[in-house]
Structure 1
Amino acid sequence: MKSDYRRIGDFIRKVSLRNTKLDVTNLMGINIDKFFMPSVANTVGTDMSKYKIVKKGQFACNRMHVGRDKRLPVALLKEDDIIVSPAYDVFEITDQDVLNPDYLMMWFSREEFDRNAWFYTDADVRGGLKWEDFCNLQLRAPSIVKQNEIVKEYNVLESRIKLNDGFIEKLEETAHAIYKQWFVSHENSDDEKRVKLDNYIETNPKLSLKKNTVTTYVELNDLTTTTMRITGSIKREFTGGGSKFQNYDTLLARITPSLENGKTAFVDILEEGEIAAGSTEFIVMRAKKNISPYWVYCLARDENFRSYAISSMVGSSGRQRVNEKYLGEYIVSKIKSEKMNEFHNTVEPIFGMVKLKSMENGKLSMLKNILLSKLV
């Protein structure tokens, strides 16, 4: 009902507790997916006493780049105290008997909220959002009983997704452990039994995709830093340029800091025979004949390979990219076809289970979005 709508500012107040005693050391930032994450800022020589403390149950947000990112990075802290940049806003709910913090975070997670926030950004190139405009954004606040019911339903879905995420991580750890045991721990030092990587893979292989063809499109943001999953994609017309790939290819971020952070994915979300398009900011790695595509993905996650890739980066500071041709010069042990086949058959069920759990999470996320859409 319209009478349920009120200003967000009617429910919150700013908090500005500085880290004057330097007793909080966990510095965090906020990503556009609205989660706290370890900060990558260089704090050498920085006066950390000016940083703001966020306590459990409080929110922090970064209003500076809403116009550019079309999202408001805002997060609710559910763990021990952290510190954030002095440029962030920290706020809390004035009366939790009237507004549930988890319900407010659900409201912030809605796409419609981000669209409204973007609409109110200023004309600055980065598109900042004024605090007054943030406070004037509308919030539907039904009774606290109704809020608690909605939060409970949402948390059931969240818990299931987290459970699957944990299972996926364990599956990936198992696959990488097998890879390391078979191909890293016992590498042969005999130069005659070592070959260049381009004997085993192609990078950015040529694929034909007609302009204006509607196909799956994957952004760099759809790759994660810890798992093989592609977390999102859209259907759109192919406009030319960018990367093209198929199922069983591996996508490797080529730009800093995404490569250093570990953004890599295994493609298994496409229809049979579909050619997808994607960002120019990742390299497509494809297994050659008789080479396991699972081996290629595990190699892309291997610390030694990633260090080699990082060492090949060229370009100006902050916009460095991997030299694609240099990757083919990477030296690996020559692998007998029998061993490659055995590895493929051993890890194939693991990759299959990751796909199943990822599909389940996709359906659960759809249910979450449906629930969020019903908040209005």
Structure 2
Amino acid sequence: MLLEDVIDVNPSRTIPRGKVAPHISMDALQPFTREIHSFELKEFSGSGSKFQNSDTLLARITPCLENGKTAFVCNLPEGIIGHGSTEFIVLSGKKGVSDDLFVYYLARDPEFRNYAIQHMEGSTGRQRVPANAIALLTIDLPPLPEQKAIASILGALDDKIELNRKMNETLEAMARAIFKSWFVDFDPIPGLGPHKEWQDSTLSKIPKGWRVVKVSEAFEINPLRSIKRGKEYAYVGMASLPTASARVTDFAFRKFTGSGSKFKNGDVLLARITPCLENGKTTLVDFLTEDEYGWGSTEFIVFGPKEPLNMWFVYCVARDQEFRNHAIRSMSGTSGRQRVETGCFNNYMIVISPADVINKFGDIVGSWFNQMKVNDDQSISLAFIRDALLPKLLSGEIRVRN
């Protein structure tokens, strides 16, 4: 049967021109990730995709299609129609014929994706798959109860992956809240009590015995790391840097070409180029083995902690909005290719406590970051199982019953 006979392709959805409604951009879709974690309210111009909860968004343009940008819409307010990129194809189940969540997993099937990629048209670099090519794909659709059973199995794995993501989001928020409480607002520290004596500083009154230091003196900036040209190391590209979380979970091994950033566990990577810096691309390096080095984009600034600081303190500074705003204001270069110059960190000041407070902070938040790593490792294993099961379930090689 043809896909268009059992699944709606770009179904009719109505939004009055000029109405403010949830908007989902291409950047909001993460590769091979079911959930969409954010949207913005934006006036509908009259063009673009339109969708509702339980629809599937399929990126139709290169390289987004090849990179796996496909998502299941479930974050809109109830009964609201959203709009988004013109580069989405919207897929929706037909009532009584196809299950909405099954449709999403069908769009994730390697055979489906290979078909879509092979039917792309247009000039190099701007190729797209036409919606009518998707509509004319021949598929074998299992009975509706079996579709629901397949979607339930795969959905349960994605549900746990999403739960782990939310747990990590909460743990990181807690760590950053403690950092702000202790090192910015100077609230009482559990076990140590309120600060009894204060001193003037160039920033404000700070606890006695604490000091104001330039970031360029508190951190190693682009520290020397000795790696050999032509030897394989863990490589992190700009696309792998998260925008709102602490950890890289996607990296490859590549031969070092002689140029690029170099780092080790305990370093923090900050994107220095627009729009990656503004978008929040920052990560903590904790995925290497002991004494192993990695390398990555030339557009990373590498921060390493100096004594008495630890990597979690440095990461929290790099995520602090005032710090990021300072870096953004210092950018220079031609429009669209502006970069942060490391000299700007000579005039950004932070407050550093005595070592016992830094160590106490590390003891508390370090365990949370370790739990985040455990959660991410579990999610990687669950995704591997999901991706192995998906084609077998959809092809009928493994059969399930309602």
Q: How far 1:138 moved relative to its partner?
A: 4.9
Amino acid at match of 1:247: N
Map 1:273-288; keep pairs closer than 5 Å. 273-288=291-306
Q: How far 1:276 moved relative to its partner?
A: 1.3
Q: How far 1:368 moved relative to its partner?
A: 1.6
SS at match of 2:389: helix
Stretch moving more, 157-166 or 22-31? 22-31
Alignment partners' CA distance in 1, 2:36 and 2:363: 38
Alignment partners' CA distance in 2, 1:268 and 1:240: 23
Give the direction of change, closer, same or farther, for the CA distance of 1:101–1:363 in structure 2 (3 Å limit): same
Report the TM-score when normalising by structure 2.
0.81
Q: How far 1:142 moved relative to its partner?
A: 2.5
User: Which protein is richer in helix relative to its size?
Assistant: 1
Alignment partners' CA distance in 2, 1:334 and 1:93: 54
Amino acid at match of 2:165: D
The gaps in structure 2 that reach 5 residues or longer are 187-197, 204-210, 396-402
Alignment partners' CA distance in 2, 1:266 and 1:188: 33
Structure 1 counterpart of 2:202: 191
Q: How far 1:288 moved relative to its partner?
A: 1.9
Give the direction of change, closer, same or farther, for the CA distance of 1:94–1:361 in structure 2 (3 Å limit): closer
SS at match of 1:252: strand
Contact 1:62 1:87 in 2 (8 A): no
SS at match of 2:277: helix
Map 1:301-340; keep pairs closer than 5 Å. 301-340=319-358
Alignment partners' CA distance in 1, 2:202 and 2:350: 10
Structure 2 counterpart of 1:3: none
Q: How far 1:282 moved relative to its partner?
A: 2.3
Stretch moving more, 302-311 or 271-280? 271-280
Contact 1:314 1:322 in 2 (8 A): yes
Contact 2:93 2:103 in 1 (8 A): no
Give the direction of change, closer, same or farther, for the CA distance of 1:243–1:8 in structure 2 (3 Å limit): farther
Map 1:209-288; keep pairs closer than 5 Å. 209-288=227-306
2:45 paired residue among 45, 48, 51: 48
Contact 1:19 1:51 in 2 (8 A): no
Give the direction of change, closer, same or farther, for the CA distance of 1:288–1:184 in structure 2 (3 Å limit): same
Q: How far 1:286 moved relative to its partner?
A: 0.9
Q: How far 1:241 moved relative to its partner?
A: 1.8
Give the direction of change, closer, same or farther, for the CA distance of 1:183–1:104 in structure 2 (3 Å limit): same
Contact 1:18 1:49 in 2 (8 A): no
Alignment partners' CA distance in 2, 1:330 and 1:268: 26
Amino acid at match of 1:15: P
Give the direction of change, closer, same or farther, for the CA distance of 1:150–1:59 in structure 2 (3 Å limit): closer
Alignment partners' CA distance in 1, 2:371 and 2:88: 41
Give the direction of change, closer, same or farther, for the CA distance of 1:112–1:280 in structure 2 (3 Å limit): farther
Give the direction of change, closer, same or farther, for the CA distance of 1:237–1:131 in structure 2 (3 Å limit): same
Amino acid at match of 2:383: S
Give the direction of change, closer, same or farther, for the CA distance of 1:189–1:162 in structure 2 (3 Å limit): farther
Structure 2 counterpart of 1:101: 100
Structure 2 counterpart of 1:117: 116
Amino acid at match of 1:66: T
Contact 2:273 2:340 in 1 (8 A): yes
SS at match of 1:215: strand
2:219 paired residue among 178, 198, 201: 201
SS at match of 1:27: strand
Indicate yes or no: 2:161 matched with 1:164. no
Alignment partners' CA distance in 2, 1:167 and 1:37: 14
Map 1:148-159; keep pairs closer than 5 Å. 148-159=148-159
Alignment partners' CA distance in 2, 1:111 and 1:282: 33
Give the direction of change, closer, same or farther, for the CA distance of 1:141–1:47 in structure 2 (3 Å limit): closer
Contact 2:59 2:89 in 1 (8 A): no
Amino acid at match of 2:176: H
Alignment partners' CA distance in 1, 2:199 and 2:271: 29
Structure 2 counterpart of 1:173: 173
Deviation digits for residues 322-370 of structure 1 (CA, Å, limit 9, x no counterpart): 2223234321124323322232223221222222222222211222222
Q: How far 1:146 moved relative to its partner?
A: 2.4
Give the direction of change, closer, same or farther, for the CA distance of 1:39–1:190 in structure 2 (3 Å limit): same
Give the direction of change, closer, same or farther, for the CA distance of 1:346–1:86 in structure 2 (3 Å limit): closer
SS at match of 1:191: coil
SS at match of 1:25: strand
Structure 2 counterpart of 1:290: 308
Alignment partners' CA distance in 1, 2:354 and 2:147: 60
Give the direction of change, closer, same or farther, for the CA distance of 1:203–1:82 in structure 2 (3 Å limit): farther
Report the TM-score when normalising by structure 1.
0.86
Count of matched residue pairs: 367
The gaps in structure 1 that reach 5 residues or longer are 1-5
Structure 2 counterpart of 1:127: 127
Stretch moving more, 29-38 or 228-237? 29-38
Alignment partners' CA distance in 1, 2:233 and 2:166: 31
Deviation digits for residues 201-259 of structure 1 (CA, Å, limit 9, x no counterpart): 11222212223322222222222222112131122333332222111111112222222
